[in-house]
Structure 1
Amino acid sequence: MSGVGVTARGLGLKGPRGWAFRDVTFEAEPGSLIAIEGPSGSGRTCLLLVLTGRMKPTAGEAEVGECRLPKQMAAVRRVGGLAHVAGVAELEPALTVAEHLHERALLQRRFGDSLRALLRPRGERAAEAKLRIDTALATAGLDRDALPKGTRTAVRDLERMEALRLSIALALLGRPRMLGVDDTDLKLSDTERDEVWALLRSIAESGTTVVAVCSEAPENAVVVTTGKEKADAIAETGRA
């Protein structure tokens, strides 16, 4: 699956308490790793939701592939997948890994696949769903055999990295052209952060555009900064 290019010009979102973010301008090629960097509370998640068509911007405009924001939010949602976003794309602690995968595969088959795919024999659909799940888990680096109870492990018993990988795998089931991930480096050790960025970079290198929220962006990423003071500092160093 090929990724999408992302371009923003003067993008901003204003809420009841003022601007969540404003004047965001950047350009990224298809298959880029885009890091939304900034302190907590600086509008990082809001920007992620705007770029993935989940929130309508107040100012500016953007293009995600051939889709324009804010006019074509539904079209942008169809090409993007979200992972690890509280209240939008989060895991249910009581459900097992298998239950999450089965539920997402059913939703994908019912709402995401074409009518032609739905008319295929049941055996073919089951084989396709298994292949899709296996591929998504492998891409996200989640080893079922390494979990305490395999896919019968409940989400509440997963380590943070395992839960993050599962959330990414669920988003990848829809074969998105753009993957959005929130709080990428929250409460992770330095080693775990390196693992996550290596994972997201590998997904981007395979063609899928990745947009990831973080407190500190990695090297070789398209850095988009929220928070005016942080933006000024980065502009002075020539990174933005």
Structure 2
Amino acid sequence: MDSPHGAAVVTEGFGLKGPRGWAFRAIDIDAAPGSLIAVEGASGSGRTCLLLALTGRMRPSEGRCEVGGLPLPRRMAAVRKISALGPVPSVSELDPALTVAEHLRERALLQRRFGVSVRRLLRPRPGRAAEAGALVREALATAGFDPAALPKGDRTPVRALERMECLRLSLALALIGRPRLIAIDDADLKLSDTERAEAWRLLRSIADTTGTTVLAVCSQAPGGTVVVRTGALAPGARGPAAGPDAQSPSAPHGTDTADGRPTDHSTTDHGTTDHEGKKADAFAETGRA
């Protein structure tokens, strides 16, 4: 069953292939609405590509996938409407030169312009502004981020924020649109053990309090999550069938070996070489192209 608050994520044999081989393959997921899904794998194992595919920002190559009951790739645009990206390097990063207030104001303006129905757009401007302000306050509270506690308040530039503060701000920005699915890349990158535990508590809290499904890429998944593993060593992973796409055992990283097993580095994690065209599509969908 799906939920108006969270999106169920169901995949079977889900895969995405680029010019040099498979970014990921044989991904099976069965996550209920409001789940905390941890995508675990080494850097370069296709984690980010999987995140972008599940949010409708990369077109998959094979398998079955439904997000919130919407089939991919047929309903990619609809999946993008119900999902939001937290921090994803090179796609939805915070601008270090902007202040906290500027980020919040920009996202609120985008929400007022593009995130509401035509009927709500016809409401008087003061009413829409008040509603946008309420959404911002609600999102900040859910993410546990208080701009007033910063040294310069909401005029603090992003470059002055700590790693956990950036994570909380990014999540607040994503929550403003009340998505049914939030995706976060590198959730545990450059965090101490204490900060890592804090980050997972935060993501669990968002899933529990809002019912939103949370999808987080990490190097090591904690307990109590729906774990999805990428890479050649993932349970059930399979390489491409023998054929013209198969490469020799001496093939460089990013290709497939002759015995049909994908290498550990079948793609760079953020698509910097193998998926330039698809990454450009992801930029366009987030309005950053």
Check conservation: 1:50, 1:57, Cα contact below 8 A: yes
Give 1:53 shift.
0.2
* Cross-structure match for 2:205: 202
* Cross-structure match for 1:223: 227
Check conservation: 2:111, 2:132, Cα contact below 8 A: no
Residue 141 (structure 2) pairs with residue 138 (structure 1): yes
Q: Distance in 1 between matches of 2:10 and 2:159?
A: 38
Other structure's SS at 1:46 match: helix
Give 1:157 shift.
0.7
Q: RMSD of aligned C-alpha atoms? A: 1.3
More helix as a share of residues: 1
Which has the greater radius of gyration?
A: 2
* Cross-structure match for 2:81: 78
Residue 94 (structure 2) pairs with residue 91 (structure 1): yes
Other structure's SS at 1:63 match: strand
Give 1:91 shift.
0.7
Other structure's SS at 2:27 match: strand
- The gaps in structure 2 that reach 5 residues or longer are 238-289
- The gaps in structure 1 that reach 5 residues or longer are 234-240
More strand as a share of residues: 1
Other structure's SS at 2:26 match: strand
Which of 31, 35, 39 in structure 2 is aligned with 1:32? 35
Residue 163 (structure 2) pairs with residue 163 (structure 1): no
* Cross-structure match for 1:125: 128
* Cross-structure match for 1:115: 118
Q: Distance in 2 between matches of 1:64 and 1:89?
A: 21
Superposition TM-score, scaled by structure 1 size: 0.94
Residue 178 (structure 2) pairs with residue 175 (structure 1): yes
One-letter identity of the residue aligned with 1:142: F
* Cross-structure match for 1:154: 157
Check conservation: 2:7, 2:181, Cα contact below 8 A: yes
One-letter identity of the residue aligned with 2:166: A
Other structure's SS at 2:216 match: strand
Which of 15, 18, 30 in structure 2 is aligned with 1:15? 18
One-letter identity of the residue aligned with 2:69: E
Give 1:148 shift.
1.6
Which whole-Å deviations, capped at 9, do the CAs of 1:34-77 have from their partners, x for residues lacking one? 00000110000000000000000111120011200111100100
Residue 9 (structure 2) pairs with residue 3 (structure 1): no
Which whole-Å deviations, capped at 9, do the CAs of 1:189-208 have from their partners, x for residues lacking one? 11111111111111111200
Q: Distance in 1 between matches of 2:96 and 2:149?
A: 19
- Runs of 4+ aligned structure 1 residues displaced above 6 Å come to none
Other structure's SS at 1:71 match: coil
Check conservation: 2:26, 2:236, Cα contact below 8 A: no
Residue 71 (structure 2) pairs with residue 68 (structure 1): yes
Give 1:230 shift.
4.2
Give 1:87 shift.
2.0
Q: Distance in 2 between matches of 1:195 and 1:73?
A: 33
Superposition TM-score, scaled by structure 2 size: 0.78
Q: Distance in 1 between matches of 2:29 and 2:137?
A: 35
